Amino acid sequence: MSTEISIEHVSMEFRTPEEVKHVLDDVSYSVTPGHFVSIVGPSGVGKTTLLRILTGLTQPTSGHVAVDGVPVKGSPAGLAVVLQDYTRSLMPWLTVEKNISLPLLNEKLSKAEIKERIGASLEEVGLSGVERSYPWQLSGGMQQRVSIARALAVRPRLLIMDEPFASVDAQTRFDLEDLVLKVKDDFGITTLMVTHDIDEAVYLSDEIVVLYGKPAKVRDVVPVDVGASRSQIETRNSQRFADLRTHVYAMVRGLE
Q: Is the pLDDT of residue 2 over 70?
A: no
CB 23 within 8 A of CB 46: yes
Q: Is the pLDDT of residue 1 over 70?
A: no
Q: Look at 11-15, 92-96, 184-188, 242-246 and tell me which has the smallest mean pLDDT.
A: 184-188
In the DSSP assignment, the letter for residue 236 is T
CB 248 within 8 A of CB 215: no
Average pLDDT, the chain: 90
Question: What is the pTM (predicted TM-score) of this model?
Answer: 0.89
Domain boundaries, the chain: 34-59+69-78+156-212+219-256, 86-155
- Interatomic CA distance for residues 147 and 194, integer angstroms: 17
Specify the pLDDT at position 192.
93
Query: Edge-to-edge strands of the sheet including 79-82?
Result: 79-82, 158-162, 190-194, 36-40, 207-212, 217-223
Query: Top-level CATH class of 34-59+69-78+156-212+219-256?
Result: alpha beta
- Interatomic CA distance for residues 178 and 186, integer angstroms: 12
Query: Once rounded to an integer, what is the mean pLDDT over residues 36-58?
Result: 91
Specify the pLDDT at position 193.
94
CB 10 within 8 A of CB 50: yes
